[in-house]
Structure 1
Amino acid sequence: MQPIPDYARSVSEELKSRTLAGTLKADPAQMDVARHLDRVLIDLKARKPARKSSALGWIFAKRRAMPEGIRGLYVHGSVGRGKTMLMDLFFEMAPTEKKRRAHFHEFMADVHNRIHAHRQKLKNGETKQADPVPPVAEQLAEQAELLCFDEFTVTDIADAMILSRLFTELFARGCTLIATSNVEPDNLYPNGLNRGLFLPFVGLLKQHVEVLSLDSPTDYRLGKGDHLPVYLAPLGPEADRQMDRAWMMLGKGQPEKPVEIAMKGRVIAVPRAVGRMARFTFAELCEAPLGAVDFLAIAERFDRIFIDHIPLLNADRRNETKRFIILIDALYDHHIHLHASAAAEPEALLTVRKGTEGFEFDRTVSRLFEMRSRDYLNVEAGQKSEV
């Protein structure tokens, strides 16, 4: 791993520099968040030498109390206000080698994989520790004392039930959390099954992070789109013809074939694939029993995804809507090039906005616009956008 440089700049100074250069517009709300991120940078830099002051301290570390954590930051606000950009600037400057930046769905998929692996060890007699959460938290904390999560959201009951115990262990081990979200902590997992069991996590979160709203009046993603022909609406023979033409052109005439992605004793069926390019119908992705871990596996295997026949989404399609939101999050976070045919433009796909899906679909709409913009498409597939 490359040595961590001694950064002279702060997030707020970088914002000022980009504003003066004309690559960003001056935004007081973003600058306010930047100053709070600078506070965390200062705290991280101050803590670093204290942990290495004594070699004997490392030898007897397990006999001492857990290290005191640094108060993190939870930034919430509407889509496209610059939350991700600010967190990425902070992450690049963070003066620690042990840091991890991930989409929250991706992190939780990793957690569940680690829990599964621990239970297999218990089953095979390789460990006597029945509770998998403490050893999994120990592994995570050893690998990253700074955790940065983009789009912190909780929709899965399995995630909701484990978060309080997991983060109690992580915070006790001195982990610092930086998170972005569309909703404030009190609105996480609204109306979720057994939400009362989730609420202790909200209280725990507020103890360990400063909650800040990013109220910028501008959505910086909108307005970038030049309406490249990668999102076709409405559905019909013409949309099908254009999708087929793009598929053939990008596939360069190579024969397509079905493939399978192995997933812990099962497989994800990919009905049509050419090299690093795959094609699905909406039904094959969002009406099937797939989740975040499956969509992440698809995003890691392919660079370009075609989705045919995205329908209008309503109350009768709640599960499909949830999967579609998670799917677009996974594709966007891996900077997958998306080609889609849909019943309507993104802002009209969800016919009734209410509950968790209503809040989260605003992010999906913004990302669908972003994914058809020149800025997004000009970045090589598989690389994350800086915006």
Structure 2
Amino acid sequence: MQAEKGYYFVEMKNTGLLKEKFHQLIGSEKPDPQVVEVVMGRKLEIPLAANGCAYFHFDDLCDRPLGAADYFGLFKNFHTLALEGIPKFGIHNRTAAYRFVTLVDVMYENKARLLCTAEASPVELFERIVTVADAQKIYPRSSSRSQKTDDIDLCVDNELGFAKERTISRLTEMNSREYMEQHEANLQDKSPQTV
């Protein structure tokens, strides 16, 4: 996805562009670390935040023991997330993939805006996540074939395999002009009206 179409930037080297877009969105406010209460007294540390926008590295949000309740708490306080460094998913980071799917679901339900840098397009992020049925099509077993030629990072997981299509669809929609316009309209509706 190109920068002109939204805020999903492929290639990790686009971190500078992500930070630039984040600073454009927060305007004249100075971003600082913040702590917000998310659920039942638990607190979440936000590395940088200002003007309804939160900035995280992927590992700080998806490679830690956080869940849907934490993400819902985050989006009670913020309407925009800048997420740096989304990796391709496989068996090596299956747990982070689950958390990312949950994060995207919560963002979508809250009509939040996502700015991010990612290692690949939404489809490519999940290309090594497959269902059992898909894995059997890719690597049919035979008595003469060894498992040694299998993709060692292939993640065979029905739940994640079925969820990936929804996540890809939502990431694509969240980057569309229509979604961005709806996000802006929602922000206008929530802002205090001047008389």
TM-score tier (shorter): 0.7 to 0.9
CA 1:331–1:382 in structure 2 vs 1: closer, same or farther (change >3 Å)?
A: farther
Q: Percent identity?
A: 27
Match for 1:243: what amino acid? L
How far apart are 1:382 and its partner, in Å? 8.8
Aligned counterparts of 1:366 and 1:227: Cα–Cα separation in 2: 19
Residue 33 of structure 2 corresponds to residue 258 of structure 1? yes
Partner of residue 58, structure 2: 282
Equivalent position SS for 2:182:
coil
Partner of residue 86, structure 2: 310
Partner of residue 154, structure 2: none
Equivalent position SS for 1:272:
strand
Partner of residue 243, structure 1: 18
TM-score of the two chains, using structure 2 as the length reference:
0.76
Aligned counterparts of 2:112 and 2:42: Cα–Cα separation in 1: 24
Partner of residue 299, structure 1: 75
How far apart are 1:245 and its partner, in Å? 1.2
Partner of residue 84, structure 1: none
Partner of residue 377, structure 1: 180
Partner of residue 366, structure 1: 169
How far apart are 1:251 and its partner, in Å? 1.5
Partner of residue 5, structure 2: 228
Equivalent position SS for 2:183:
coil
Aligned counterparts of 2:184 and 2:54: Cα–Cα separation in 1: 13
Matches within 5 A, 1:130-141: none
How far apart are 1:266 and its partner, in Å? 2.3
**Does the CA-based 8 Å contact 2:88-2:120 persist in structure 1?**
yes
**Does the CA-based 8 Å contact 1:256-1:273 persist in structure 2?**
yes
Q: Deviations over 1:236-263 (max 9, x none)?
A: 1xx1121111011112132111111123
How far apart are 1:345 and its partner, in Å? 0.2
How far apart are 1:310 and its partner, in Å? 0.3
Matches within 5 A, 1:5-20: none
Matches within 5 A, 1:26-41: none
Equivalent position SS for 2:111:
coil
Q: Deviations over 1:45-97 (max 9, x none)?
A: xxxxxxxxxxxxxxxxxxxxxxxxxxxxxxxxxxxxxxxxxxxxxxxxxxxxx
**Does the CA-based 8 Å contact 1:234-1:342 persist in structure 2?**
yes
Partner of residue 53, structure 1: none
**Does the CA-based 8 Å contact 1:227-1:373 persist in structure 2?**
no
Equivalent position SS for 1:378:
helix
Match for 1:377: what amino acid? M
Aligned counterparts of 2:60 and 2:79: Cα–Cα separation in 1: 18
Aligned counterparts of 1:339 and 1:299: Cα–Cα separation in 2: 14
Aligned counterparts of 2:29 and 2:173: Cα–Cα separation in 1: 29
How far apart are 1:350 and its partner, in Å? 1.6
Equivalent position SS for 1:271:
strand
**Does the CA-based 8 Å contact 1:272-1:280 persist in structure 2?**
yes
Equivalent position SS for 1:347:
helix
TM-score of the two chains, using structure 1 as the length reference:
0.39
Structure of higher CA gyration radius: 1
Aligned counterparts of 2:185 and 2:45: Cα–Cα separation in 1: 21
CA 1:227–1:255 in structure 2 vs 1: closer, same or farther (change >3 Å)?
A: closer
How well do the aligned residues superpose, as a CA RMSD in angstroms? Answer: 2.0
Aligned counterparts of 2:183 and 2:9: Cα–Cα separation in 1: 22
How far apart are 1:339 and its partner, in Å? 0.3
CA 1:284–1:272 in structure 2 vs 1: closer, same or farther (change >3 Å)?
A: same
Equivalent position SS for 1:348:
helix
CA 1:358–1:348 in structure 2 vs 1: closer, same or farther (change >3 Å)?
A: same
How far apart are 1:376 and its partner, in Å? 0.3
Aligned counterparts of 2:33 and 2:185: Cα–Cα separation in 1: 21
CA 1:322–1:381 in structure 2 vs 1: closer, same or farther (change >3 Å)?
A: farther
Aligned counterparts of 2:166 and 2:47: Cα–Cα separation in 1: 28
Residue 116 of structure 2 corresponds to residue 340 of structure 1? yes
Q: Give the counterpart of 2:96 among 320, 326, 336.
A: 320
How far apart are 1:234 and its partner, in Å? 1.6
Deviates more, 1:293-302 or 1:322-331: 293-302
Aligned counterparts of 1:228 and 1:279: Cα–Cα separation in 2: 21
Equivalent position SS for 1:297:
helix
